[in-house]
Structures are given as structure tokens and as C-alpha cells.
Amino acid sequence: MDSGIRGLSALFGSFRYGAVRRACNIGAVVMVAGCATADADTITIAAFGDSLTQGYGLPAQQGFVPQLEEWLRANGADVTVVNAGVSGDTTAGGLSRVDWAITPETDAMILELGANDFLRGIDPAVSRENLDGILSVADEAGLETLLVAIPASTNYGTEFKTQFDGMYVDLAEKYDVPLYPNFMEPLGEGETVAGAAEQYLQSDGLHPTAEGVALIVEGIGPSVLELIEGLE
């Protein structure tokens, strides 16, 4: 994105695609949450986010949620990770659906939202308010929550970036939740989504390949284990 917002047109194409599929994605979330049959000792984690969480462009078992669940189980955690990601979602979209996306069985939440807000140039103050609302719901529900940041580039200026990146830090402190500072950082070469190494990105230049997801999971996995440590 810093070099002309690489792949931006492709992503806005995915917004249209995401709008068409939104109802299907939401329905899938409800079905997965409603049909969970994990035993009482299994920890249920809601992975709540956008296309990066949902697994845009990948076969179902190669997306972020299935790979994370497999990694956590391989590392000794008795967990079920529910895919509550919706392609194209903004923080406003997340706030509008968080009340019903968190089921009574949910023990913890991974909150990954903000990339689409940045790409649309949404005022960081609006994004902050929406994330605040989501975290408030999680807090009232007593959920252990991991807040995942998606740092902005400087395409909208340094002040925008400072405010946008700072909202994650401020909200993590406000709600006393752990902050994972950069979802895409394990892909290397830059702070932002489009700054990731090309070999780990799909043709749109923004969404990770299955190999890229595996690196992301390796990076965030230990933080998720720490999140659920006290729940087991």
C-alpha cells in the first residue's frame, strides 16, 4: 500500500464480493456456533474479524481459523475455534453483529478488525468508538479477549496513522486486554498488509496464502495460548 496502495482495487473488488457473500458468511457463523458439540472441558474461542480471519480466497481448511485450531491442539490446548470472520467487514459491521456472534458457549475472543476501515479512509475516531463498543460487549460477557492490531500505512498521512495505530494501544489499556501488535508481521518486509512479502500473499496483494497463514498462526499462536491459560 505504501507503494501506491498495492492491490487496493483488488480489495475493493473483494468488498463487492464480500457484500454479496455477507449473509452467507454470517449464516455460517451461526451454524458453526449453534452446532458446536464440544464437551464441557473444551474452551471455545470466537475468532471475530474480517476477511483475514474468515480465510478469504482459501479452501476452508487452509484459512486462519482451522490452522489456528490445529496449531493450538498440537500444542496441548483443548479448544474449538469458531470462525466469526466476515469478508469486507469494518469495525462498524463488527459492532452491529457482536451481540449475537458471542454465544453462551464462548469462553474467549480474538478481535481482529480495522484493515477495511483504513482502506476506506474512515476517521480513526469512528473506528476507535466501534472497537470500544465491541470490547465493552466482550467485557460485560466476561470473555478473555486478545485484541489484534492491523497497523495503517502513511497513505493518509502520519497523523492518521498515529491515531489509527494508537487506538489499539489505548483500548488494550482501557480494557486491560493483551494486544497482539501486528497480525501480518510474521510475513515480513513491512508493517502493513501490503508490505508483506509477495510470496506469502494471494494475487490481490493483500490476503495471505495458506503458507502465509501458517506463518501468521505460528506468530500469534503463543499469544492465544497465554490468553486461554487461565481458562483450562
Q: Give per-residue pLDDT as tens, 15-38.
A: 333 333 333 344 444 334 444 444
Would you place residue 199 in the very low, low, confident or very high pLDDT band (cuts 50, 70, 90)?
A: confident
In the chain, where the domains are located: 8-231
Q: Give per-residue pLDDT as tens, 115-146.
A: 999 999 999 999 999 999 999 999 999 999 99
Q: Which fold has domain 8-231?
A: Rossmann fold (3.40.50)
> How far is residue 105 from each of residues 95, 121, 123, 218, measured CA to CA in Å?
20, 35, 34, 26
Mean pLDDT within 35-53: 81
For 17, list phi and psi in degrees, rounded to 5.
-60, -45
3-state SS assignment for residue 177: coil
Cell reading at 142: 466476561
Alpha-carbon distance 46 to 98, whole Å? 10
pTM > 0.75: yes or no: yes
- Which position has the higher pLDDT, 156 or 5? 156
> How far is residue 154 from each of residues 1, 70, 159, measured CA to CA in Å?
9, 35, 8
